[in-house]
Amino acid sequence: MQSDLRADSRQYAAQNPRVSAVTSLDLRKKQRIGESIIHAFLAFCAALSIFTTLGIVFVLGREALLFFQLPEVAVWDFVSKVKWQPAVGQFGIWPLVIATLITSLIAMVVALPIGLMIAIYLSEYASPRTRNTLKPILEVLAGIPTVVFGYFALTFMTPLLRNIFGQEMIEIYNTASAGLVIGILILPLVTSMSEDALRAVPASLREAAYSLGATKLETALTIVVPSALSGIAAAFIVSISRAVGETMVVALAAGSGPRNFDNWGEALHGGAILNPFKAAETMTGHIVRISGGDLAMTQ
């Protein structure tokens, strides 16, 4: 069968000179050294990122295993108690976890809706001149050091909250001001990534919606945003990770010690452990504070 096909193809090529000229060309893939080097470098970078991630997970897992092998640490107390005082053998993680969740939640409430609305405005409503003016301003805001945001939270946001709600209700160090400023800090990240995702939606979808009589707002909310949902979700996930991992703002504005309780009844009485107007310490802030040791050294 194959020999018959080859014979037929040779006969057809002999009768058609143009086809014969095309079939005589060598269309096999040629080896290009430059492309091979670039391909190998890209593969190396991908493998390096994967092994770096695995290395981080391995190191953290090993340290966590060593921590739980200590005789003073009980896994059940770690996941059930609400008092974190390693100096006296109390290892309940919930005060640090809840403070981290409160600050992150406040930051998300501030950053996600406002950032998405700004992104929709820049993508669908703003003129090129306005967009070219606002984008650099957002980029400058993203480049401000986080320690500046921490002092902003301590010297501006906290006094503002105390003037609004009263000094008796708002402590000098509190998670509310830290969460609000973290929301401002991650706002450029949410806006920039969401706006890029919205602008990547094909213009043909917008034009089709306009041709059916949809307004600009209806097109933006029902066509553009759902089409860019994967990019917007990625922006939200990255922003949440940024908020959870923020260090300097919470270290300066949230508090320098965990909000401990003897038991869950005391912690939940009146929502004491969930009060954002009281001082608390997040996991990242605690790591910063004890980086030189949990107990101060005296000479």
Structure pTM?
0.81
Ramachandran quadrant class, 270 (left: phi over 0; alpha: psi -120 to 50; beta: rest):
left
Instruction: Examine residue 299 and state whether it is found in any structural domain, yes or no.
Output: no
Residue that finishes a domain, picked among 73, 93, 114:
73
Q: How confident is the model at residue 7 (pLDDT cuts 50, 70, 90)?
A: low
| Residue located via tokens 């969401």 | 194
- The average pLDDT across 24-34 equals 67
End-to-end alpha-carbon separation of the chain, Å?
95
Instruction: Examine residue 298 and state whether it is found in any structural domain, yes or no.
Output: no
Instruction: Examine residue 273 and state whether it is found in any structural domain, yes or no.
Output: yes
Residue that wins the pLDDT comparison between 161 and 8: 161
Residues 177 and 57 in one domain: no
Report the pLDDT value the prediction gives residue 6, as an integer from 0 to 100. Answer: 55
CATH number assigned to the domain comprising residue 250: 1.10.3720.10
Full domain range(s) for residue 15:
2-73
Report the pLDDT value the prediction gives residue 28, as an integer from 0 to 100. Answer: 67
| Residue located via tokens 């917007």 | 232
Q: Is 263 helix (H, G, I), strand (E, B) or coil?
A: coil
Residues 201 and 272 in one domain: yes
- The average pLDDT across 206-213 equals 89
Report the pLDDT value the prediction gives residue 58, as an integer from 0 to 100. Answer: 95
Residue that wins the pLDDT comparison between 189 and 271: 189
Q: How confident is the model at residue 134 (pLDDT cuts 50, 70, 90)?
A: confident
Residues 147 and 216 in one domain: yes
- The average pLDDT across 179-184 equals 93
Structure tokens at 289: 């504070």
Report the pLDDT value the prediction gives residue 297, as an integer from 0 to 100. Answer: 45
Question: Residue 299 pLDDT > 50, yes or no?
Answer: no
**What would the pLDDT profile of 53-103 be if each residue is shown by its tens digit?**
999 999 999 988 888 888 888 888 888 888 888 888 888 899 999 999 999
Instruction: Examine residue 297 and state whether it is found in any structural domain, yes or no.
Output: no
Name the H helices within 128-174.
Answer: 128-142, 146-152, 158-165
- The average pLDDT across 264-272 equals 83
**What would the pLDDT profile of 141-157 be if each residue is shown by its tens digit?**
888 888 999 999 999 99
Residues 116 and 179 in one domain: yes
Residue that finishes a domain, picked among 73, 95, 124:
73
Q: Which residues of 59-85 are buried (b: 16+ CB within 10 A; e: fewer)?
A: eeeeeeeeeeeeeeeeeeeeeebbbbe
Q: What percent of the chain has pLDDT over 90?
A: 39
Residues 195 and 115 in one domain: yes
Residue that wins the pLDDT comparison between 239 and 257: 239
Q: What percent of the chain has pLDDT over 70?
A: 87
Question: Residue 291 pLDDT > 50, yes or no?
Answer: yes
Among 9-13, 105-109, 266-270, name the one with the lowest average pLDDT. Answer: 9-13
